[in-house]
Structure 1
């Protein structure tokens, strides 16, 4: 079958399967099967068995269930409430005051959970009632949470960076390092916007609370020590070369269990519930990866990725023009698919043309995560929007409106990263060249 006919057929099969409510893994397998039957001389069943087994028996993926389990344990501990009370005194004098707790809390929790949805849900359940009770603007409180919840994708240990690294055979340690400075930059952009908004909208800010004395500040700092200790144990062990990402994930689970036991917040039923939830999430991601592995080899048989890369190469696009086109493409994809599905569905097609344009695959992984973060706050399929809708009962499109300034800040972050790629590449180049 001609590629001009096959490509629209495959797109139709994909979106038709998704529209029918099929799981993403099944949809990917269906597209791969149609592609194999139309263009491949090899038996589809043998290719399917070989590629699925090969795609899932990747050692780096062992870190995935461990980081997910660590996040599930921490969700059921007192970590989030300790973070709020610990961060509040340090933001009291900043313009915007406690609104910064959403940004800092999400950044800290992202560094120990790796999941955007878990970060949003955990910090949201803790911060939104507190901010509402103290008279903060609902729209701004919800918007800051929606935007900051996306940190779970970027700040290591990031589940989506593990998936990208496994799919592209890139170093997960390098990807983790590459996500640190862009994560700090994004948190700074959000914090700067909050300050600017609060100075321009003083009438929508509550009255200042009484100043906190030094003793209370020190007590608050002590509440943050377990969180910081866990971050240092997990991320520091990778950066210092003491542990691989997989070994660091095991350290994280052990540390999370110790924290939960120390606070008395995790019962035996809670332990098994965390394990069950982590297993379900891991199986969902593994199923998507299995379908993506089969689709990748099927697309190779069709020649579509090769021809698409050649077509774009003949267009003579500069790297910046290519990145701008891909940004729009991923934003549109994000309106219909979740972040992990976007990565595994597109990376096999996109990466050859990206590397052909001279773009570093490690840098591109961070770029991709930033763009995919936008998909978390774009309707109709924005997972952070769904989480916040569940917490607040607000209409999903209203939540999206509140999150719009932070969506635009993500676009700005992508532009800055494109102009200054060393923001992502400096740390892995420095730490891993020793």
Structure 2
């Protein structure tokens, strides 16, 4: 190895060669979307701006500094914080077994939670089966520094918007990965509600995943960070809340060894606090894994002042429950606004039920037939000061999808969609 190669480890080299379309796209636009002083209309990053007025008041009154906050806090998150998070989950996720403090570990964001779980349940050279399309940063969260790779599983042969999971297709994907590509799959990773589709998996589909994982002794990681951002039941009161947590399965031990099931949660999405960087690993049945996670917690624990701030917010359970109810109503209204604007511009989309986004569907556009064509639309919009997330960063198979974040000010939506429609017309 010579100096031009940087004297880096094999692990680093593997990480740098890992395919990561989302990271490439972010790198091309980071000077705009991550620069608070840049003039950019961001309708692509999953951020909910609808509750900023409510949060400003609450955070301001909760940010109490004490001298003890200058010292180290608990690497796992304080007992009080984890008690409060347990209460939050117990009130809203309908867990069969109520959460207690020891079931929860605090991390610097949900991405860190996925990373440390991956280290705890896989070996170098293993693979994780990810329900696809999938959140693009899983290419980092799962793969960077772990020597583990992702194997996408598409529920439908051709439809990237389908989230109905079939056992035979799961088996086919698993066997192909094993026999044709020499993959040793150790876990299944699912986002529910789904990112980027904004849909919730049915209980039947989730049971299929659990049975499949049980058959092959695979871990199941359920990323549930949008659990309390559902809105389809707000739009239609005849519908039930579409979200089902893996924590709520009363027959879990009949479907799979519960020690193989792990849930991710965080404050970025439901609490609209992306920049606070706080996530949680929830594990109720795997004592040995929790012991490992506690030992690795030193590398990913939140600041003492952040711990205190969150405790002060969560202690007001009445405010928290009111916050979620208001947030869901506002998301529902924003979704109606977004779909109305899309209809006005003649833009197709995949309907969603939860989260901050939906997928605009321009796959039938005659001038979009390759990923390069999709990228051309992305860069044309960027030149006009608009950032939208192109579908290929979520590993969609057909070019022409764009993930639109609609939890924004109406004027921003109108401007962004007007420019998107114009770019597509001018291709």
TM-score using structure 2 length: 0.28
- In proportion to residue count, which structure has more strand? 2
TM-score using structure 1 length: 0.28
